[in-house]
Amino acid sequence: MSVDPDTAREALAALCAVADDPDAYVVRWKERTGGRAIGVFPMNFPSEIAAAGGALPVVIQENREPDSLGRNLLAEFYCGYTRNLADQAAKGTLDIYDAFFQADHCTQLLGAVDVVRAEVPDAPVFFGQLPTSMSDSWAGERALATMRSFVEEMGRFAGTPVTAAALADAIAVHNENRRLLREVYAARRAGNAALSSPEMQVLVKSSMVMDTREHTALLREVVAGLAARPRDDRVRLYLSGHLSHAPRPELLAAIEECGAIVVDDDLFTGGRHISTDVPEDGDPVAALADWYLRRDAVAPCPTLVKHETDWEERLVEAVDASGAEGVVVLMVRFCEPHMLYYPELRKRLNERDIPHLLIETEHEGLPVETVQTRVEALLERIRRNAPLEAIR
């Protein structure tokens, strides 16, 4: 069913507004519904649990303001996202949240959460330690126990137990949203470049903030109103990295303005976040534990250990599947897991003769001209090495 193009543009504009100013959406939602909002720290807490408890789960986004009040609360060698979290806490920006949930293994994020705990004392912080060694025999039992503790904590916060029926409903709603987003990604890989890379990020980033049913309704209008745009001669690129927050839109735009088209990614605000559905049969808590354990096989993370799956192998497979001609690795400065893993990625890309470029990012941003110069050099290398029939 097609949708009027104006309706689709209005829906996309609404999603852009949420992605640009998540805090304003949270405040409006609370005023409209009288409900409570849960601040979710990336990358592993399942939002389905908060939704099943009647709250609005919001993956806390890095904002665009320069860090000021929070600069003395974390060391300068913390990544830009964690330093910005500390700054938001110090400025009172995070006061809109009624509680916080964390299920992550990043030591820098743990430090930032300690700052949040001190600066927002009236909001409880719930922490659950999910297993990091995914191949061990005890990993499944540990993941299940942690998910149960999250459900129990959410019930205590909500003042009423989170029922299996409510959890199953939340899982189905979130799965529907993920599947629809993956359809958009599949269309882009197939050559339909109707949406730019910044717009694709908007679709995912807004899904991390909004009520999921509301987001799905707007997303359907966007998808139904997309005008098909056949594959053109732009160089096809794959974006990899940014494990916990969104790259700046101007960085994504700068890459495509050089004559490239991003056809796929494994970014946190992208393919990584929507990669894996939660099983909808059986015990919903066990299904969430299964989701956590399976997701690393689909989108490997350097904070986790699974001997059967390597990020570099999955990256090469994804590049091949997307038809990308090169890779741009977006590495957050001081992101230790990514820094330690990058040599393996680079080695495998070199072995496969896949042209690639590493760009380090920071909260304060990068000069667009510098980025474009480096990307243009990558694109020139790709074009020179392309077969004659590909150039034609």
CATH of the domain at 131: 3.40.50.11890
Residue 222 lies in a domain: no
Could you tell me where the beta strands, DSSP code E, fall in the chain? 37-40, 56-59, 99-102, 125-127, 235-241, 260-265, 326-332, 356-361
Omega before residue 200 within 30° of 0, cis? no
User: Which of 162, 186, 217 lies at the terminal end of a domain, its last residue?
Assistant: 162
Phi-psi region of 132 (alpha: psi -120 to 50; beta: other; left: phi over 0): alpha
Provide the number of structural domains found in the chain. 2
Record the tokens describing residue 265, joined without a space.
């990614």
Residue 168 lies in a domain: no
Let me know whether 147 and 261 are in one domain: no
Let me know: does 329 contact 343? Beta carbons within 8 Å: no
Per the DSSP assignment, residues forming a β-bridge with 260 are 235
Local structure of 211: helix, strand or coil: coil
Let me know whether 253 and 371 are in one domain: yes
Let me know: does 259 contact 234? Beta carbons within 8 Å: yes
Let me know whether 236 and 360 are in one domain: yes
User: Which of 113, 128, 162 lies at the terminal end of a domain, its last residue?
Assistant: 162
Q: Which residue bears the tokens 């986004």?
A: 61
Let me know whether 151 and 28 are in one domain: yes
pTM: 0.94
Could you tell me where the beta strands, DSSP code E, fall in 140-256? 235-241
**What is the CATH number for 375?**
3.40.50.11900
Residue 127 lies in a domain: yes
Residue 226 lies in a domain: no
Record the tokens describing residue 163, joined without a space.
């029922």
pLDDT for 391 equals 31
Let me know whether 139 and 241 are in one domain: no
Residue 75 CA to residue 73 CA, distance in Å, equals: 7
| Phi, psi angle pair for 201, to nearest 5° | -65, -35
Let me know whether 156 and 244 are in one domain: no
Record the tokens describing residue 171, joined without a space.
């899982």
Let me know whether 158 and 241 are in one domain: no
Neighbours of 4 (CB within 10 A): 11
Residue 218 lies in a domain: no
Residue 216 lies in a domain: no
pLDDT for 3 equals 67
Residue 125 lies in a domain: yes
Let me know whether 379 and 252 are in one domain: yes
Record the tokens describing residue 44, joined without a space.
């592993």
Residue 196 lies in a domain: no
Let me know whether 236 and 373 are in one domain: yes
Residue 283 CA to residue 101 CA, distance in Å, equals: 22
Give pLDDT tens digits along the chain (392 positions): 566 778 889 999 999 999 999 999 999 999 999 999 999 999 999 999 999 999 999 999 999 999 999 889 999 999 999 999 999 999 999 999 999 999 977 889 999 999 999 999 999 999 998 998 888 889 999 999 999 999 999 999 999 999 999 999 999 999 999 999 999 999 889 887 689 999 999 999 999 999 999 999 999 999 988 877 777 889 999 999 999 999 999 999 999 999 999 999 999 999 999 999 999 999 999 999 999 999 988 888 888 887 777 899 999 999 999 999 999 999 999 999 999 999 999 999 999 999 999 999 998 878 889 999 999 999 999 998 864 333 32
User: Which of 162, 182, 215 lies at the terminal end of a domain, its last residue?
Assistant: 162
Let me know whether 246 and 378 are in one domain: yes
Let me know whether 265 and 141 are in one domain: no
pLDDT for 216 equals 98
Domain holding 310, by residue range, is 232-391
Let me know whether 257 and 357 are in one domain: yes
